[in-house]
Amino acid sequence: ERQEVRPYNRQRLLVVANRLPVSAVRRGEDSWSLEISAGGLVSALLGVKEFEARWIGWAGVNVPDEVGQKALSKALAEKRCIPVFLDEEIVHQYYNGYCNNILWPLFHYLGLPQEDRLATTRSFQSQFAAYKKANQMFADVVNEHYEEGDVVWCHDYHLMFLPKCLKEYNSKMKVGWFLHTPFPSSEIHRTLPSRSELLRSVLAADLVGFHTYDYARHFVSACTRILGLEGTPEGVEDQGRLTRVAAFPIGIDSERFIRALEVPEVIQHMKELKERFAGRKVMLGVDRLDMIKGIPQKILAFEKFLEENASWRDKVVLLQIAVPTRTDVPEYQKLTSQVHEIVGRINGRFGTLTAVPIHHLDRSLDFHALCALYAVTDVALVTSLRDGMNLVSYEFVACQEAKKGVLILSEFAGAAQSLGAGAILVNPWNITEVAASIGQALNMPPEEREKRHRHNFHHVKTHTAQEWAETFVSELNDTVIEAQLRISK
Ligand code: G6P
């Protein structure tokens, strides 16, 4: 095999996340095609180019046969990706169960799913066991590919058990862990039966990162209150060993979006969209079809706006792109029917023979179509009930240099801390307030739009995904050096 020549100054980065940046679709016994995966984590990490990065993660499919596994590993290797093969049962218990039915709703303050709360409580232990087993499988693959000096960067709530597994293999491994969701108040975290084990395994990392200072603070207080450890301005201390805890707000590769607006295909798309919605203001929502995104609340607020503002009824349209996600989890299935029901009702109520107020799509758009849509939008609605950061708000701002549209943004999204000064901040649970903010946005004078956009655009341009990753990795390198110095003193 061809020996790889690595530029001497480039450190190798092993990025470990549950989902690889590409998802595999089987085309034949040994042939696969790869598609870009959805979600904020992937869109941010696509902007990280400075390192010799390898990706380790689940390809999103069950591949029970060796022929298929070999062929898929080969196809993924071209994208610098290394698959972790998880069988159906593990995916069911670890991914659908513990990750997405327990940790995800809890970390977003939504509690356990209402209807099957007791069933979920009963399956806690077996699902947690599967979670640990899956994390161990990730650790095995990391360990197999690890070379001395590599930085191992673990991502998200799926892999909270991974830092501990990795340090057990090799205590010298440089391990960072970053959470892309909120970390909830310690009062929420302490309801988890596995609360202590999860905290302890995350603390095995050298550096632990969050999007906002608040999430970092919640994590530290969970460690002090639940584990009785000492919180310091640097992080958490346990018998003289420090785990550094800090905030690293993520960004996007803004230039990629700005450049896309000059591609002829995007310009053509924009032209078509403008013709299609001529005479109407375009409002846009782009979300994974997830309960944390507050899609039903957003649509109800739009209905309220139409109810109270008859003169706007034929002058505004809401385009809602809802990318299906985690479709095997019952809570997500329920959400899909709920959203369809509400959209249907409102379109029946306010639609005419020639136009409907809401266009709802249950699918993702390709990158160019998405950029065109962002660029022609007058008002973007990001109404997450909770959201680690929310990069859709960043993507929208990046595409608005010409139009200077308005961003309505939930105060419960991490992005509210960075784009708050330019956006109209709302409490997404208060549909009267959101309806009023729609009116405010549609009627906003151009000078005010310009001023708000300037603020946000500057932030999105200067706080990139690239910079985020570089800061985290250099902080991780420094943390490890400082720890070595402390030990040798
Ligand atoms: C969020 C999570 C990511 C996840 C993404 C898509 O952004 O923080 O870790 O990859 O959602 O969800 P999925 O379950 O499809 O990977």
378: helix, strand or coil: coil
CA of 39 to the centre of ligand 1 (A): 5
Atom of ligand 1 nearest to the CA of 17: 9
CA distance 332 to 105: 11
Spatial separation of the C-alpha atoms in residues 294 and 287, rounded to whole Å: 9
The Cα 386–Cα 182 span in angstroms is 8
**Are 288 and 323 in contact, with CB atoms under 8 Å apart?**
yes
Q: Is 38 in the pocket of ligand 1 (CB under 6 A)?
A: yes
**Side-chain-side CA neighbours of residue 213 (13 Å):** 5
| Cβ–ligand 1 contact at 108 (below 6 Å) | no
Residue 418 CA, chain-centre distance (Å), reads 16
pLDDT, tens digit, for every residue of 260-315? Answer: 999 999 999 999 999 999 999 999 999 999 999 999 999 999 999 999 999 999 99
Q: From the CA of 40, how far away is ligand 1's center (Å)?
A: 7
Q: E-strand spans in 269-348?
A: 281-288, 316-323
Q: How far, in Å, is the centroid of ligand 1 from the Cα of 42?
A: 8
Determine the angle formed by the axes of helices 431-442 and 295-308, rounding to 10 degrees: 60
Q: Whose CA is nearest to atom 1 of ligand 1?
A: 39
- Cα–Cα distance for residue pair 73/188, rounded to 1 Å: 39
* Atom 6 in ligand 1: residue holding the nearest Cα: 39
Q: Which residue's alpha carbon is nearest to atom 8 within ligand 1?
A: 180
pTM: 0.95
Ligand 1 atom with minimal separation from the 95 CA: 14
Instruction: Write down the residue that tokens 């709920």 correspond to.
Output: 338
Would you say the CB of residue 181 lies under 6 angstroms from ligand 1? yes
What is the distance in A from the centroid of ligand 1 to the CA of 401?
29
Which pair of tokens denotes residue 478?
């420094």
- How many whole angstroms separate alpha carbon 398 and alpha carbon 259? 10
How far is the C-alpha of 362 from the C-alpha of 312, rounded, in Å? Answer: 26
ipTM for this prediction: 0.98
Other CB atoms within a 10 A radius of the CB of residue 88 amount to: 9
Mutate-to-test residue for ligand 1 from 23, 41, 390, highest number of ligand atoms within 8 A of CB: 41
Per-residue confidence in pLDDT tens, the chain, 489 aa = 344 445 555 789 999 999 998 989 999 888 999 988 876 677 667 766 677 889 999 989 999 999 999 999 999 999 999 999 999 999 999 999 999 999 999 999 998 876 677 877 888 899 999 999 999 999 999 999 999 999 999 999 999 999 999 999 999 999 999 999 999 999 999 999 999 999 999 999 999 999 999 999 999 999 999 999 999 999 999 999 999 999 999 999 999 999 999 999 999 999 999 999 999 999 999 999 999 999 999 999 999 999 999 999 999 999 999 999 999 998 999 999 999 999 999 999 999 999 999 999 999 999 999 999 999 999 999 999 999 999 999 999 999 999 999 999 999 999 999 999 999 999 999 999 999 999 999 999 999 999 999 999 999 999 999 899 999 999 999 999 999 888 887
Contacts 24+ apart (CB under 8 A), 352-357: 352/314, 355/280, 355/314, 355/317, 356/317, 357/302, 357/306, 357/313, 357/316, 357/317, 357/318
DSSP string covering 238-276, please? ETTEEEEEEE----B-HHHHHHHTTSHHHHHHHHHHHHH
Strand, coil or helix: 184: coil
- Is the CB–ligand 1 distance for residue 19 below 6 Å? yes
**325 within ligand 1 shell (Cβ under 6 A):** yes
Ligand 1 centroid distance, CA of 169 (Å): 27
Predicted confidence (pLDDT) per residue in 69-90, tens digit: 999 999 999 999 999 999 999 9
Q: Residue ranges of the alpha helices (H) in 351-423?
A: 367-376, 392-398, 416-419
Residue 38's contacts (CB-CB under 8 Å, 6 or more residues apart) are 288, 323, 325, 364
For 437, residues 6+ apart whose C-beta sits below 8 A from its C-beta are: 408, 424, 426
Q: How far is 425 from 440, CA to CA, in rounded Å?
A: 12
CA pair distance 32, 436, nearest whole angstrom: 49
